[in-house]
Amino acid sequence: MRSSHWYAGDGRDAYIHRAWMRRGNPDSAFDGRPQIAIVNTASDLAPCNTHLDEIAQSVKNGIWEAGGVPLNLPMISLGETQVRPTAMLWRNMAAMATEEMMRANPIDGAVLLGGCDKTIPALLMGASSVDLPSIVVPGGPMLTGTFRGSPLGCGTDVWRMSEEVRAGLLSKAKFLDSESAMIRSRGHCNTMGTASTMGIMAEALGMTLPGVAGTPAADSRLLQAAHNTGRRIVEMVTSDLKPSDVMTKASFENAILALAAIGGSTNAVVHLLAIAGRLGIKLSLDDFDRIGSRIPLLVNLQPSGKFLMEDFYRAGGLSAVFKQLEKLLNPQAITVTGKSITSTIGDGEIFDSEVIKSIDAPLQKEAGIAVLRGNIAPLGAVIKPAAASPALLKHSGPALVFESIEDFHARIDSDDLDVTADSVLVLRGCGPKGYPGMPEVANMKIPGKLVAHGVTDMVRICDGRMSGTAYGTVILHVAPESAAGGPLSKILSGDIIELDVAARTLNVKVSESELAARKASVATENAYANPDRGWQRMYIDHVMQADTGADLDFLIGSSGSDVTRESH
Name the residues that contact ligand FES, by CB under 6 A: 48, 80-81, 116-117, 154, 188-189, 193, 195
- Cis amide bond preceding 362, omega within 30: no
CB of 492 to ligand FES, least distance (A): 36
CB of 384 to ligand FES, least distance (A): 17
Which one, 48 or 260, has the nearer CB to ligand FES?
A: 48
Whole-number Å distance between alpha carbons of 136 and 59: 11
Q: How far is the CB of 484 from ligand FES (least distance, A)?
A: 28
Residue with Cβ nearer ligand FES (80 or 99): 80
Q: Please give the C-alpha separations between residue 307 and each of 310, 314, 490, 492, in angstroms, as whole numbers.
A: 8, 11, 41, 40
Least CB distance from residue 189 to ligand FES, whole Å? 3
Our CB check for ligand FES shows the closer of 154 and 491 to be 154
Nearer to ligand FES, 154 or 376 (CB): 154
- Greatest Cα pair distance in the chain: 80
Residue 24, classified by CB atoms within 10 Å of its CB into exposed (0-12), middle (13-18) or buried (19+), is: exposed
- Cβ proximity to ligand FES: between 117 and 310 the closer is 117
Taking a C-beta distance cutoff of 8 angstroms, is the pair 474, 442 a contact?
yes
Shortest approach of ligand FES to residue 188 CB, angstroms?
Answer: 4
Note whether 322 and 329 are within 8 A (CB): yes
Instruction: Select 116 or 279, whichever has its Cβ closest to ligand FES.
Output: 116
Question: Any idea what DSSP says for residue 291?
Answer: I
Strand partners, 465: 440
Cα separation, 7 vs 25, whole angstroms: 13
Q: What values do phi and psi take at 352, rounded to 5?
A: -150, 105
CB 493 to ligand FES: min, Å: 34
In the complex, least distance from residue 264 CB atom to ligand FES, rounded to whole angstroms:
13
Task: Please say which residue, 82 or 284, places its beta carbon nearer to ligand FES.
Answer: 82
Q: Any bridge partners for residue 511, and if so which? A: none
CB of 316 to ligand FES, least distance (A): 22
Q: Which is nearer to ligand FES, 17 or 188 (CB)?
A: 188
Min dist CB 196 to ligand FES, Å, is: 8
Beta bridge partners of 396: 498
Q: Which is nearer to ligand FES, 91 or 188 (CB)?
A: 188
Pairwise CA distance, residues 303 & 193, whole Å: 7
| Cβ at position 157, least distance to ligand FES in Å | 13
Length of the chain: 568
Query: With 0-12 CB in 10 A as exposed, 13-18 as middle and 19+ as buried, what is 566?
Result: exposed
Question: 129: helix, coil or strand?
Answer: helix
Which residue lies nearer to ligand FES by CB, 193 or 296?
A: 193
**What is the number of other CB atoms lying within 10 angstroms of the CB of residue 143?**
19
Q: Is the peptide bond before 436 cis (omega within 30 degrees of 0)?
A: yes
In the complex with ligand FES, the residue whose CB is nearer, 440 or 495, is: 440
- CB 139 → ligand FES: shortest distance, Å? 9
* Nearest distance, CB of residue 286 and ligand FES, angstroms: 29
Residue 320, burial from CB neighbour count under 10 angstroms (0-12, 13-18, 19+): buried
Instruction: List, in order, residues 6 or more apart from 12 with CB less than 8 Å away.
Output: none
Q: How far is the CB of 46 from ligand FES (least distance, A)?
A: 7
- Cβ neighbour number for residue 158 with a 10 Å cutoff: 18
Nearer to ligand FES, 82 or 330 (CB): 82
Residue number with CB closer to ligand FES (47 or 106): 47
d(CA 450, CA 425): 13
| Radius of gyration over every alpha carbon of the chain, rounded to an integer in angstroms | 24
- Four-point Cα dihedral 115, 121, 124, 129, nearest 10: -150
Concatenate the DSSP letters of all residues of 448-499 into one string: HHHHTTT----EEEESSB--TT--SSEEEEEES-GGGT-GGGG--TTPEEEE
